[in-house]
Chain A
Amino acid sequence: MATHRRPLSPHLQVYRPQLTSVLSILHRATGIVLSIGTLLLVYWLAAIALGPETHATAQNILGSWFGLLLLFLWSWALFYHLSNGIRHLFWDAGQGFELSTAYQSGYAVVVSSLVLTVLAWVLAFST
Protein backbone atom coordinates (compact mmCIF):
# COMPACT_ATOMS: atom_id res chain seq x y z
CA MET A 1 0.00 0.00 0.00
CA ALA A 2 1.39 3.39 -0.97
CA THR A 3 1.85 5.81 1.93
CA HIS A 4 0.69 9.35 1.16
CA ARG A 5 1.78 12.22 3.38
CA ARG A 6 -1.73 13.30 4.26
CA PRO A 7 -2.34 15.44 7.36
CA LEU A 8 -3.18 13.27 10.35
CA SER A 9 -5.87 14.00 12.92
CA PRO A 10 -5.82 15.35 15.67
CA HIS A 11 -3.56 18.13 14.20
CA LEU A 12 -1.43 18.46 17.35
CA GLN A 13 0.27 21.63 16.09
CA VAL A 14 -2.91 23.74 16.40
CA TYR A 15 -3.39 22.96 20.10
CA ARG A 16 -1.87 24.86 23.00
CA PRO A 17 -0.33 22.29 25.42
CA GLN A 18 -2.53 21.73 28.47
CA LEU A 19 -1.75 20.02 31.77
CA THR A 20 -3.89 17.03 30.82
CA SER A 21 -2.35 16.53 27.37
CA VAL A 22 1.22 17.03 28.64
CA LEU A 23 0.71 14.50 31.45
CA SER A 24 -0.82 12.08 28.96
CA ILE A 25 2.17 12.10 26.62
CA LEU A 26 4.54 12.03 29.64
CA HIS A 27 2.95 8.72 30.66
CA ARG A 28 4.05 7.22 27.36
CA ALA A 29 7.45 8.92 27.47
CA THR A 30 8.18 7.65 31.00
CA GLY A 31 6.94 4.19 29.96
CA ILE A 32 9.50 4.14 27.13
CA VAL A 33 12.23 5.51 29.45
CA LEU A 34 11.44 2.83 32.06
CA SER A 35 11.56 0.11 29.39
CA ILE A 36 15.05 1.29 28.41
CA GLY A 37 15.86 1.66 32.12
CA THR A 38 15.33 -2.09 32.60
CA LEU A 39 18.83 -2.38 31.07
CA LEU A 40 20.22 -0.90 34.33
CA LEU A 41 18.20 -3.37 36.41
CA VAL A 42 19.28 -6.36 34.31
CA TYR A 43 22.91 -5.20 34.37
CA TRP A 44 22.82 -4.87 38.17
CA LEU A 45 21.26 -8.33 38.70
CA ALA A 46 23.59 -10.02 36.16
CA ALA A 47 26.61 -8.35 37.80
CA ILE A 48 25.64 -9.78 41.21
CA ALA A 49 25.00 -13.22 39.65
CA LEU A 50 28.46 -13.26 38.05
CA GLY A 51 30.34 -12.68 41.32
CA PRO A 52 31.91 -10.16 43.72
CA GLU A 53 34.25 -8.60 41.11
CA THR A 54 31.55 -7.77 38.55
CA HIS A 55 29.31 -6.58 41.41
CA ALA A 56 32.05 -4.19 42.58
CA THR A 57 32.44 -2.86 39.02
CA ALA A 58 28.68 -2.34 38.73
CA GLN A 59 28.63 -0.52 42.10
CA ASN A 60 31.38 1.82 40.85
CA ILE A 61 29.58 2.54 37.58
CA LEU A 62 26.13 3.01 39.15
CA GLY A 63 27.67 5.04 42.00
CA SER A 64 29.49 7.45 39.65
CA TRP A 65 27.90 10.86 38.98
CA PHE A 66 26.64 9.61 35.61
CA GLY A 67 25.23 6.41 37.11
CA LEU A 68 23.50 8.38 39.86
CA LEU A 69 22.09 10.81 37.27
CA LEU A 70 20.61 7.88 35.30
CA LEU A 71 19.21 6.38 38.50
CA PHE A 72 17.74 9.76 39.50
CA LEU A 73 15.95 10.13 36.14
CA TRP A 74 14.86 6.47 36.35
CA SER A 75 13.41 7.04 39.83
CA TRP A 76 11.41 10.10 38.77
CA ALA A 77 10.12 8.27 35.65
CA LEU A 78 9.10 5.33 37.88
CA PHE A 79 7.28 7.49 40.45
CA TYR A 80 5.58 9.51 37.69
CA HIS A 81 4.45 6.40 35.78
CA LEU A 82 3.32 4.80 39.07
CA SER A 83 1.31 7.86 40.19
CA ASN A 84 -0.22 8.56 36.79
CA GLY A 85 -0.80 4.82 36.29
CA ILE A 86 -2.99 4.80 39.41
CA ARG A 87 -4.84 7.82 37.93
CA HIS A 88 -5.36 5.79 34.74
CA LEU A 89 -6.71 2.81 36.71
CA PHE A 90 -9.37 5.09 38.28
CA TRP A 91 -10.35 6.21 34.77
CA ASP A 92 -10.50 2.55 33.68
CA ALA A 93 -12.95 2.00 36.55
CA GLY A 94 -15.05 4.91 35.20
CA GLN A 95 -14.07 7.39 37.95
CA GLY A 96 -12.68 10.93 37.81
CA PHE A 97 -13.68 12.07 34.33
CA GLU A 98 -15.00 15.50 35.44
CA LEU A 99 -12.73 18.20 33.98
CA SER A 100 -12.05 19.72 37.42
CA THR A 101 -11.29 16.27 38.86
CA ALA A 102 -8.97 15.45 35.93
CA TYR A 103 -7.01 18.66 36.66
CA GLN A 104 -6.90 18.02 40.42
CA SER A 105 -5.66 14.45 39.96
CA GLY A 106 -3.19 15.76 37.38
CA TYR A 107 -1.66 18.23 39.84
CA ALA A 108 -1.68 15.50 42.50
CA VAL A 109 0.34 13.25 40.15
CA VAL A 110 2.94 15.99 39.52
CA VAL A 111 3.31 16.71 43.25
CA SER A 112 3.43 13.06 44.33
CA SER A 113 6.02 12.12 41.67
CA LEU A 114 8.30 14.96 42.81
CA VAL A 115 7.77 14.35 46.55
CA LEU A 116 8.39 10.58 46.23
CA THR A 117 11.54 11.15 44.15
CA VAL A 118 12.99 13.65 46.65
CA LEU A 119 11.98 11.42 49.58
CA ALA A 120 13.65 8.36 48.04
CA TRP A 121 16.93 10.20 47.42
CA VAL A 122 16.96 11.83 50.86
CA LEU A 123 16.52 8.34 52.37
CA ALA A 124 19.15 6.90 50.00
CA PHE A 125 21.79 9.39 51.15
CA SER A 126 20.85 9.40 54.84
CA THR A 127 21.24 5.63 55.32
Chain B
Amino acid sequence: MSLRTPLARARGLGSAKEGVQHWWAQRVTAVALIPLSVWFVVSLLAVAGADYPTVVAWVGSPVNTALLVILLFSVFYHALLGLQVVIEDYIHTEWLKHTVLISVHFALILLGVIAIVSVVRIAFIAVLSTGV
Protein backbone atom coordinates (compact mmCIF):
# COMPACT_ATOMS: atom_id res chain seq x y z
CA MET B 1 0.00 0.00 0.00
CA SER B 2 1.30 3.41 -0.90
CA LEU B 3 1.08 6.25 1.60
CA ARG B 4 1.34 8.85 -1.17
CA THR B 5 -1.83 10.72 -2.06
CA PRO B 6 -3.11 10.49 -5.66
CA LEU B 7 -2.25 14.19 -6.08
CA ALA B 8 1.37 13.65 -5.00
CA ARG B 9 1.63 10.73 -7.41
CA ALA B 10 0.25 12.78 -10.31
CA ARG B 11 2.48 15.78 -9.49
CA GLY B 12 5.69 13.75 -9.36
CA LEU B 13 5.08 11.79 -12.62
CA GLY B 14 7.56 9.11 -11.50
CA SER B 15 11.35 9.10 -11.42
CA ALA B 16 11.69 10.25 -15.03
CA LYS B 17 9.20 13.11 -14.43
CA GLU B 18 7.34 12.29 -17.64
CA GLY B 19 4.69 9.88 -16.38
CA VAL B 20 3.28 7.64 -19.12
CA GLN B 21 4.10 10.11 -21.92
CA HIS B 22 6.67 7.81 -23.62
CA TRP B 23 4.46 4.72 -23.41
CA TRP B 24 1.39 6.62 -24.55
CA ALA B 25 3.10 8.33 -27.51
CA GLN B 26 4.36 4.90 -28.67
CA ARG B 27 0.75 3.62 -28.72
CA VAL B 28 -0.78 6.71 -30.34
CA THR B 29 1.78 6.62 -33.18
CA ALA B 30 1.18 2.84 -33.48
CA VAL B 31 -2.57 3.35 -33.90
CA ALA B 32 -1.98 6.14 -36.47
CA LEU B 33 0.44 3.93 -38.40
CA ILE B 34 -2.07 1.08 -38.89
CA PRO B 35 -4.17 2.88 -41.57
CA LEU B 36 -1.26 5.05 -42.76
CA SER B 37 1.09 2.14 -43.48
CA VAL B 38 -1.64 0.14 -45.24
CA TRP B 39 -2.50 3.22 -47.36
CA PHE B 40 1.20 3.75 -48.16
CA VAL B 41 1.89 0.15 -49.22
CA VAL B 42 -1.27 0.00 -51.37
CA SER B 43 -0.29 3.33 -52.99
CA LEU B 44 3.29 2.13 -53.57
CA LEU B 45 1.95 -0.88 -55.48
CA ALA B 46 0.44 1.57 -57.96
CA VAL B 47 3.17 4.25 -58.22
CA ALA B 48 6.49 2.63 -57.23
CA GLY B 49 7.29 1.52 -60.78
CA ALA B 50 5.65 4.48 -62.54
CA ASP B 51 7.47 7.16 -64.57
CA TYR B 52 8.72 10.42 -63.06
CA PRO B 53 5.72 12.69 -63.82
CA THR B 54 3.28 10.11 -62.39
CA VAL B 55 5.25 9.70 -59.14
CA VAL B 56 5.62 13.49 -58.75
CA ALA B 57 1.90 14.02 -59.39
CA TRP B 58 1.02 11.35 -56.81
CA VAL B 59 3.25 12.82 -54.06
CA GLY B 60 2.17 16.35 -55.03
CA SER B 61 -1.57 15.82 -54.76
CA PRO B 62 -2.59 17.79 -51.61
CA VAL B 63 -4.15 14.85 -49.73
CA ASN B 64 -1.15 12.60 -50.45
CA THR B 65 1.34 15.31 -49.44
CA ALA B 66 -0.46 15.79 -46.12
CA LEU B 67 -0.78 12.04 -45.43
CA LEU B 68 2.90 11.47 -46.33
CA VAL B 69 4.05 14.18 -43.90
CA ILE B 70 1.89 12.68 -41.12
CA LEU B 71 3.11 9.17 -42.01
CA LEU B 72 6.78 10.22 -41.95
CA PHE B 73 6.40 12.11 -38.66
CA SER B 74 4.67 9.07 -37.08
CA VAL B 75 7.21 6.60 -38.49
CA PHE B 76 10.26 8.46 -37.20
CA TYR B 77 8.70 9.33 -33.83
CA HIS B 78 7.61 5.68 -33.38
CA ALA B 79 11.07 4.41 -34.43
CA LEU B 80 12.77 6.86 -32.05
CA LEU B 81 10.67 5.72 -29.05
CA GLY B 82 11.09 2.04 -29.96
CA LEU B 83 14.85 2.14 -30.50
CA GLN B 84 15.27 4.14 -27.28
CA VAL B 85 13.67 1.30 -25.28
CA VAL B 86 15.79 -1.34 -27.03
CA ILE B 87 19.00 0.62 -26.34
CA GLU B 88 18.06 1.21 -22.69
CA ASP B 89 17.26 -2.50 -22.26
CA TYR B 90 20.44 -3.94 -23.76
CA ILE B 91 23.25 -1.42 -23.28
CA HIS B 92 24.24 -1.14 -19.63
CA THR B 93 27.53 0.77 -19.94
CA GLU B 94 26.46 4.34 -19.17
CA TRP B 95 28.76 6.30 -21.52
CA LEU B 96 28.07 3.90 -24.42
CA LYS B 97 24.31 3.93 -23.79
CA HIS B 98 24.13 7.72 -23.92
CA THR B 99 26.44 7.90 -26.94
CA VAL B 100 24.25 5.45 -28.86
CA LEU B 101 21.01 7.13 -27.67
CA ILE B 102 22.14 10.58 -28.81
CA SER B 103 23.53 9.23 -32.12
CA VAL B 104 20.28 7.40 -32.88
CA HIS B 105 18.27 10.54 -32.00
CA PHE B 106 20.39 12.68 -34.34
CA ALA B 107 20.26 10.09 -37.16
CA LEU B 108 16.47 9.60 -37.01
CA ILE B 109 15.72 13.33 -36.77
CA LEU B 110 18.07 13.99 -39.71
CA LEU B 111 16.44 11.24 -41.79
CA GLY B 112 12.94 12.37 -40.84
CA VAL B 113 13.62 15.99 -41.76
CA ILE B 114 15.24 15.00 -45.08
CA ALA B 115 12.19 12.83 -45.87
CA ILE B 116 9.64 15.55 -45.05
CA VAL B 117 11.62 18.27 -46.88
CA SER B 118 11.80 15.93 -49.90
CA VAL B 119 8.02 15.44 -49.90
CA VAL B 120 7.44 19.21 -49.69
CA ARG B 121 9.97 19.79 -52.49
CA ILE B 122 8.25 17.18 -54.69
CA ALA B 123 4.95 18.96 -54.02
CA PHE B 124 6.52 22.21 -55.33
CA ILE B 125 7.82 20.38 -58.42
CA ALA B 126 4.30 19.06 -59.02
CA VAL B 127 2.80 22.55 -58.76
CA LEU B 128 5.46 24.05 -61.08
CA SER B 129 5.01 21.33 -63.70
CA THR B 130 1.22 21.66 -63.83
CA GLY B 131 1.21 25.46 -63.49
CA VAL B 132 -1.47 25.48 -60.77
Q: Using CB atoms and an 8 Å cutoff, list the residues of chain A in contact with chain B.
A: 1, 3, 28, 31-32, 34-35, 38-39, 41-42, 45-46, 48-49, 52, 55-56, 59, 62-63, 75, 78, 82, 85-86, 88-89, 92, 120, 123-124, 127
Contact = CB atoms under 8 A, between A and B. Distances in A.
Give the interface SS of chain B, mostly helix, strand, loop or mixed.
helix
B75 A120 contact: no
B82 interface: yes
Given A85-B30, A89-B30, A49 B76 contact: no
Contacts of A32: 83, 86
11 contacts: A3-B93, A32-B83, A39-B111, A41-B75, A45-B115, A46-B115, A48-B55, A49-B117, A62-B48, A82-B37, A120-B45
Given A31-B86, A49-B118, A127 B75 contact: no
A70 to B, nearest CB: 13
A63 B48 CA distance: 10
Interface residues of B, number: 35
B101 interface: no
Given A3-B93, A85-B30, A55 B108 contact: no
A85 B37 CA distance: 12
Contacts of B16: none
A20 B68 CA distance: 34
A63 to B, nearest CB: 7
A124 B33 CA distance: 21
Given A48-B122, A124-B48, A42 B41 contact: no
Contacts of A92: 27
The 10 closest A-B pairs by CB, nearest first: A49-B118, A45-B118, A49-B121, A35-B79, A52-B52, A42-B115, A46-B118, A31-B82, A42-B111, A49-B122
